[in-house]
Amino acid sequence: MDQGRSRYQTDPNQKSTMDQAADLGRQALDQAAETATAARDTVTEHPITTLAVIGGLAFAIGALWKMQQSGKVNRTDALMARLAGLQHQLPRRWS
């Protein structure tokens, strides 16, 4: 084996991993720029629709957050908790 070359070195004609990552990064930035331009055009052309969509999303997120924060126990969970507690209250001959 040649001392100057690593055994893991790839074919010189292949792109290096860093070059591939840089290309993917450029493609991602280009796609993000195109998406931002399309979003800006949509907001400019349809401002009322944009506000309605944003308001609907905000309402849905708020409702989900409120449901998670409420901490209320539903009837099924309450019944299961009561049934689990009954096991200790039953006479031994029934268990």
> What are the boundaries of each domain within the chain?
17-94
Q: What is the pLDDT of residue 18?
A: 85
The two tokens of residue 85 are 């507690």
Q: Is 50 exposed, middle or buried (0-12, 13-18, 19+ CB in 10 A)?
A: middle
Distances (CA, A) of 29 to 14, 17, 18, 38, 67: 24, 18, 16, 14, 37
Question: Each residue of 39-67: pLDDT tens digit?
Answer: 999 999 999 999 999 999 999 999 888 87
Of 6-15, 22-31, 79-88, which range is least confident? 6-15
